[in-house]
Amino acid sequence: MMLASACLLLFMVPLLTLLRTRGTNVPAELSQRAEGHLGKAEEDFELVSAAQAGEVAAFEKLVRKYQKRMLNIAYRMIGDYEDACETVQETFLSAYRSIKRFRKEAAFSTWLCAICLNHAKNRLKKTRNKARHEVQPMDDLLETEESAFARETASDCLSVIEQMERKEVQEKVQECMNGLDDEYREVLVLRDIQGFSYEEISAILNVPDGTVKSRLFRARDGLKNSLKKTLGEL
Mean pLDDT by 10 residues, the chain (234 residues): 45 50 46 47 90 93 94 93 94 94 89 95 82 49 44 51 68 87 93 92 94 95 89 60
pLDDT for the residue numbered 41: 75
Q: Do 65 and 101 have their domain in common?
A: yes
Domain end among 109, 136, 152: 152
**Which of 182, 192, 190 shows the shortest CA–CA distance to 224?**
192
Predicted confidence at residue 46, as pLDDT, reads: 93
Q: SS3 of 14, please?
A: helix
138 shares its domain with 219:
no
Contact 116, 75 (CB under 8 A): no
Distance CA 178, CA 223 (A): 10
State the sign of the Cα–Cα–Cα–Cα dihedral 218, 220, 221, 227.
positive
Number of domains in the chain: 2
Please tell me whether residues 64 and 130 are part of one structural domain.
Answer: yes
Using the 3D structure, point to which of 152, 173, 190 is the last residue of a domain.
152
What residues make up the domain containing 202? 157-234
**What was the pLDDT predicted at 162?**
64
Separation of alpha carbons 132 and 139, rounded Å: 19
Domain boundary among 98, 130, 152: 152
Give the CATH number, domain containing residue 81: 1.10.1740.10
